[in-house]
């Protein structure tokens, strides 16, 4: 049984399971990807680049590719800050892939836009198809890519986005929102928020259907319990979030079950 099938069988909640980061950097790199694609030698990315970008803090670097760009002489680069109060998305075409090393991950994480990139108004969709990391992503991710293309929409294949048991996993930029489950329509949370904030946002989103809530910093009110103030224009609510033991779960195909935490809203 695959990890995604077992996840469905266990009825594991996808709420507040998005990875947390301040920014995403997506670099086009055609060719095969190994399980941990950013490690030197695990893709066709030059090793000296892999060795540098793998050390970058406060940003998440992923590789992307498109079946429609074989033989392209440039590499597409997307850079997005996904913190709620400063979301932006910029891109460029790199004539030389080594230009990615001109990025400063620290300033990007602080919300400073690289002045040599061009700001985009159209969002970008990324779908994990890294089958060497987990077969569920290859099977479900490529199926979703085909569905996007059948509708005339553009989506990029990407390396591991986190949470392959919820495959197909999908990320949109610059909002940083993560989706998974059936046809990747189940909302997992915004990656620019902590998992505590994600649980509060997911609760209010399911109740009211809005996408643009603002979450304040969680206030711990008891062991494993927080209050999160969440608002939208004239709407305001305090959401109580609890952390619970998830128990053992298979997070990836062929791996042993591991323990973990879940975050739930217990009161609006």
Q: Which residues contact 259 (CB under 8 A, 6 or more apart)?
A: 245, 246, 247, 248, 249
Q: Which residues contact 71 (CB under 8 A, 6 or more apart)?
A: none
Same domain, 178 and 59: yes
Same domain, 64 and 169: yes
- Distance (Å, whole) CA 95 – CA 135: 33
| Nearest CA among 228, 200, 175, 251 for reference residue 4 | 251
The percentage of the chain sitting over the pLDDT mark of 70, rounded to a whole number, equals: 100
The parent domain of residue 76 ranges over: 1-192
CATH number of the CATH domain containing 211: 3.10.450
Average pLDDT, the chain: 93
- Distance (Å, whole) CA 38 – CA 25: 12
pLDDT at 182 over 80: no
HSE (side-chain half, CA atoms, 13 Å) at 122:
6
Same domain, 108 and 23: yes
Same domain, 178 and 200: no
Same domain, 156 and 203: no
pLDDT at 56 over 90: yes
Question: Which pLDDT value is given to residue 61?
Answer: 98
Q: What is the pLDDT of residues 13-47, one digit of tens each?
A: 899 999 999 999 999 999 999 999 999 999 999 99
Q: What is the pLDDT of residues 69-106, one digit of tens each?
A: 888 899 999 999 999 888 999 999 999 999 999 999 99
pLDDT at 267 over 80: no
Q: Which of 192, 217, 242 is the last residue before a domain boundary? A: 192
Same domain, 186 and 198: no
- Distance (Å, whole) CA 91 – CA 114: 10
Q: How many domains is the chain partitioned into structurally?
A: 2
Does residue 23 contact residue 58 with C-beta atoms inside 8 Å?
yes
pTM here is 0.95
Between 212 and 114, where is the model more confident?
114
Same domain, 1 and 33: yes
The percentage of the chain sitting over the pLDDT mark of 90, rounded to a whole number, equals: 75
For 76, the token pair is 């597409």
Q: Kindly indicate the confidence band of residue 115, based on its pLDDT and cuts at 50, 70 and 90.
A: very high
């Amino acid at each position: 049984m695959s990890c995604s099938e077992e996840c469905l069988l266990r009825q594991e909640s996808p709420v507040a399971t998005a990875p947390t980061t301040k920014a995403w950097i997506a670099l086009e790199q055609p060719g095969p990807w190994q399980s941990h694609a950013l490690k030197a030698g695990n893709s066709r990315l030059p090793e000296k680049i892999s060795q540098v970008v793998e050390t970058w803090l406060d940003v998440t670097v992923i590789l992307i590719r498109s079946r429609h760009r074989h033989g392209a002489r440039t590499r597409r680069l997307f850079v997005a800050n996904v913190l709620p109060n400063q979301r932006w998305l910029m891109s460029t075409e790199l004539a030389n892939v080594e230009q990615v090393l001109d990025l400063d991950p620290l300033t990007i994480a602080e919300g400073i836009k690289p002045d040599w990139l061009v700001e985009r108004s159209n969002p970008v969709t990324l779908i994990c198809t890294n089958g060497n990391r987990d077969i569920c992503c290859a099977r479900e991710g490529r199926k979703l890519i085909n569905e996007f293309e059948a509708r005339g929409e553009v989506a990029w294949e990407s390396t591991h986005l986190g949470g392959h048991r919820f495959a197909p996993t999908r990320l949109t930029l610059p909002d940083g929102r993560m989706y998974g489950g059936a046809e990747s329509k189940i909302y997992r949370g915004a990656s620019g928020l902590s998992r505590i904030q994600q649980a509060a946002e997911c609760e209010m989103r399911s109740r009211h259907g809005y996408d643009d809530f603002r979450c304040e910093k969680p206030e711990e009110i008891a062991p494993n319990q927080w209050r999160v103030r969440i608002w939208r224009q004239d709407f305001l609510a305090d959401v109580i979030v609890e952390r619970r033991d998830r128990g053992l779960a298979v997070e990836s195909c062929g791996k042993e079950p591991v323990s973990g935490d879940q975050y739930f809203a217990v009161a609006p």
